[in-house]
């Protein structure tokens, strides 16, 4: 008898959550969920069953506490500011003149959580182990107990945030015996971070203060990470005071913050774009391979309406320069490129297309030889903000005489074509560079070296637009080989002019990422005036920095 219900299952839509939202918003019953007030409870987004995996090399499948909380990189790069990185294990670092040698000094008298000494040998071992060895890596040598010298074949100026900020230092005395680093689950992690694993189950796991942590054990003695399967559950637990910190989308944040004990922050960093398969030379097919069509779409869409209707007014304005403003202020070459047009201009879109030789067919849609072109735009089913945005884009483009068909696909059908290039346009989120320098955006998404022919997956980089432009490639190479600000600015100006004209990725909005945290039970959270780290519980390293700043409020 419940069989019909099961087929409804898949239809568990966000719409249902919205209904309950209205009901839960009223007067939540207060009350502490747990017994011990000093335990901080987090939902970092994991669903049950939680994977028992603390392998710092499993960046996609290991649990959140692995990154920063248990294992640490050398330095912390705050993606919210342009300030110099903060030393964790590392104390200072210096590049050689040619950028091929990097000398790192680590702090003295460090300990692993099992009591062994953490020395430069461990750091050197880490850089020569597993997937940390990049193509350009030559050697890592510990010259004394606190100094490590890393040598590469190419200048490494631009990879500081990867090398120093997201290479997790592992103890040699344990990992030296592990051969298959990808299949390792590391259920008893020994790290250097502020916390050590206390208990694990597939519904929740708990970490406790590391007594051997270099700055002394953190004030919050226990942190419990929960596995939850829906945003609605998390929101319910938040309003009833049972969890203290979550990073999730809540369309109506007032429903949670109304009581005053929960505070929210909304950071807008990662650009959502219409990623196009842009390069006919590499095998892309469709009208969107013509830059004029992409330019027309760029001016035909009404970003203000999209941000408002599809993203609940929480998204930010994206920039065709793919810099993050105001953080990357010094790298923006032209103030015109600070943000994309926010309002639709159908007339301009039409003019661009007509100048490129397109004419309207009987129904008013542009095409050649009397047949209108049609472009396919897909987004993953159930990502309601993306689905709504795609629908709006399709309608707005139609007003300008451009036929875009929005459709939704399953998760599986989403990732594969994007990587293989077997698509025309997709709504796709790019990842913002985590340092105040757009280099990684340009290298990752726009460089010809980061792409591959249609049908193949890029081996390096994520240039899924298949964009390839020798001018951009030259400038990316030039910017990567120098630390000189003026040279870099010149290179970036070239890149920005090219990509803002060619638009292989048509910027739509900057995604909202909301965090909610309990300021009544814990103090020391990042605030408007002191954004020492992004308060997102799923963000590697920043989460640990926040945790070690907190104190129980009583």
Partner 1 sequence: MSFYLRRVAFYLVTLWAAISLNFLLPRLLPGDPAAIMLGKLRRASGGRPLSEETIEAITSILGAGKDMSLWDQYVAYWGRLLQGDLGVSSTRYPASVADLIAAALPWTIILVGVATVISFLLGIIVGAWVGWRRGTALDHLVPVTTVFQSIPYFWLALVLVAVFSVQLGWFPIVGGYDVFEFPAGPEPTWAFVGSAIYHAILPATTIVLSSVGGWLLGMRNMMVSTMSEDYVVTAEAKGLTPRRVRTRYASRNAAIPSLAGFGIALGFVVAGSIVMEQVFSYPGIGKLMIQAVQGLDYALMQGVFLVITLTVLAANFFMDLIYGFIDPRVRHNG
Could you tell me the smallest distance in angstroms from the CB atom of residue 407 to partner 1? 14
Query: Contact between 351 and partner 1 (CB under 8 A)?
Result: no
Q: End-to-end CA distance of the chain: give it in Å, rounded.
A: 53
Query: Contact between 9 and partner 1 (CB under 8 A)?
Result: yes
Could you tell me the smallest distance in angstroms from the CB atom of residue 95 to partner 1? 19
Judge contact between 170 and 125, C-beta under 8 A: yes
Residue whose CB is less far from partner 1, 201 or 487: 201
Query: Contact between 166 and partner 1 (CB under 8 A)?
Result: yes
In the chain, the largest separation of any two C-alpha atoms, in whole Å, equals 78
Query: Contact between 254 and partner 1 (CB under 8 A)?
Result: no
Q: How many CA atoms lie within 13 A of 212 on its CB side?
A: 15
Among residues 26, 84, 362, 486, which is the contact residue for partner 1, using CB under 8 A?
26
User: Please, which contacts does 306-309 make with residues 24 or more away whose CB atoms are closer than 8 Å?
Assistant: 306/389, 306/392, 306/393, 306/508, 306/509, 307/509, 309/388, 309/392
Judge contact between 546 and 526, C-beta under 8 A: yes
Site for partner 1 in 392-411 (CB under 8 A): 410-411
Site for partner 1 in 445-474 (CB under 8 A): 457, 459-462
Report which DSSP code applies to 71.
Answer: B
Q: Measuring CA to CA, which residue among 288, 314, 284 is closest to residue 389?
A: 314
Among residues 37, 145, 182, 355, which is the contact residue for partner 1, using CB under 8 A?
182
Q: Would you say the C-alpha torsion 454, 458, 464, 467 has a positive or negative sign?
A: negative
Query: Which is it for strands 39-43 and 222-226: parallel, antiparallel or unpaired?
Result: parallel
Please name every residue paired with 271 in a beta bridge, in sequence order, or none if there are none. Answer: 510
Among residues 28, 87, 258, 474, which is the contact residue for partner 1, using CB under 8 A?
28
Query: Contact between 58 and partner 1 (CB under 8 A)?
Result: yes
Judge contact between 350 and 300, C-beta under 8 A: no
Among residues 147, 240, 252, 266, which is the contact residue for partner 1, using CB under 8 A?
240
The span from the CA of 553 to the CA of 263, in Å, is 15
Q: How many CA atoms lie within 13 A of 339 on its CB side?
A: 12
Query: Contact between 38 and partner 1 (CB under 8 A)?
Result: no
Residue whose CB is less far from partner 1, 255 or 307: 255
Could you tell me the smallest distance in angstroms from the CB atom of residue 221 to partner 1? 13
Residue whose CB is less far from partner 1, 412 or 486: 412
Could you tell me the smallest distance in angstroms from the CB atom of residue 198 to partner 1? 8
Among residues 412, 470, 486, 528, which is the contact residue for partner 1, using CB under 8 A?
412
Among residues 65, 204, 251, 539, which is the contact residue for partner 1, using CB under 8 A?
204
Query: Contact between 27 and partner 1 (CB under 8 A)?
Result: yes
The span from the CA of 300 to the CA of 393, in Å, is 9
Query: Contact between 35 and partner 1 (CB under 8 A)?
Result: yes
Site for partner 1 in 81-140 (CB under 8 A): 130-131, 133-135
């Amino acid at each position: 008898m419940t069989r019909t219900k099961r087929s409804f299952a898949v239809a568990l839509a966000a719409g249902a959550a919205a209904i309950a939202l209205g009901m839960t918003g009223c007067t939540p019953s207060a009350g502490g969920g747990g017994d011990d007030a000093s335990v901080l409870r987090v939902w970092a987004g994991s669903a049950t069953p939680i994977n028992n995996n603390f392998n710092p090399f499993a960046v996609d499948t290991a649990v959140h506490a692995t990154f920063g909380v248990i294992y640490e990189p050398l330095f912390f790069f705050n993606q919210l500011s342009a300030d110099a990185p903060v030393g964790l294990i590392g104390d200072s670092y210096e590049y050689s003149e040619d950028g091929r040698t990097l000398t790192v000094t680590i702090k003295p008298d460090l300990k692993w959580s099992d009591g062994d000494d953490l020395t430069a040998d461990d750091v050197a071992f880490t850089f020569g182990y597993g997937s940390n060895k990049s193509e350009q890596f030559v050697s890592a040598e510990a010259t004394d107990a606190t100094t490590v010298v890393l040598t590469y074949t190419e200048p490494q100026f631009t990879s500081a945030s990867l090398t120093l900020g997201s290479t997790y230092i592992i103890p040699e005395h344990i990992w030296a015996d592990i051969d298959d680093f990808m299949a390792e689950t590391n259920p008893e992690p020994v790290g250097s971070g502020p916390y050590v694993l206390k208990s694990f189950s597939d519904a929740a796991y708990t970490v406790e203060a590391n007594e051997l942590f270099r700055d002394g054990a953190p004030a919050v003695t226990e942190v419990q990470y929960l596995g939850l399967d829906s945003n609605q559950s998390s929101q319910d637990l938040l309003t009833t005071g049972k969890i203290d910190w979550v990073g999730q989308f809540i369309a109506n944040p007032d429903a949670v913050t109304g009581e005053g004990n929960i505070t929210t922050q909304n950071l807008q960093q990662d650009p959502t774009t219409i990623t196009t398969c842009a390069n006919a030379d590499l095998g892309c097919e469709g009208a969107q391979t013509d830059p004029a069509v992409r330019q027309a779409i760029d001016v035909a869409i009404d970003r203000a309406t999209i941000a408002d209707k599809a993203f609940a007014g929480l998204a930010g304005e994206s920039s065709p320069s793919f810099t993050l403003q105001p953080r990357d202020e010094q790298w923006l070459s032209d103030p015109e490129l600070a943000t994309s047009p926010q309002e639709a201009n159908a007339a301009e879109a039409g003019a661009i297309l007509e100048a490129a030789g397109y004419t309207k067919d009987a129904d008013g849609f542009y095409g050649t030889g009397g047949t209108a072109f049609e472009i396919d735009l897909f987004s993953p089913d159930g990502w309601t903000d993306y689905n709504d945005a795609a629908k709006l884009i399709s309608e707005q483009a139609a007003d300008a005489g451009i036929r875009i068909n929005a459709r939704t696909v399953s998760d599986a059908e989403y990732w594969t074509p994007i990587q293989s290039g077997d698509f025309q346009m997709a709504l796709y989120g790019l990842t913002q560079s985590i340092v105040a320098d757009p280099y990684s955006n340009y290298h990752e998404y726009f460089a010809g070296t980061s792409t591959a022919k249609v049908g193949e997956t890029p081996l390096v980089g994520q240039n899924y637009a298949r964009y390839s432009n020798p001018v951009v490639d030259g400038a990316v190479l030039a910017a990567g080989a120098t630390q000189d600000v003026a040279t870099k600015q010149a290179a970036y100006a070239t890149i920005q002019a090219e990509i803002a004209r060619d638009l292989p990725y048509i910027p739509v909005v900057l995604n909202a990422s909301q965090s909610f945290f309990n300021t009544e039970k814990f103090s020391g959270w990042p605030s408007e005036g002191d954004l020492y780290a992004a308060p997102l519980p799923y963000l590697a390293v920043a989460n640990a920095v926040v945790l070690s700043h907190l104190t129980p409020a009583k």
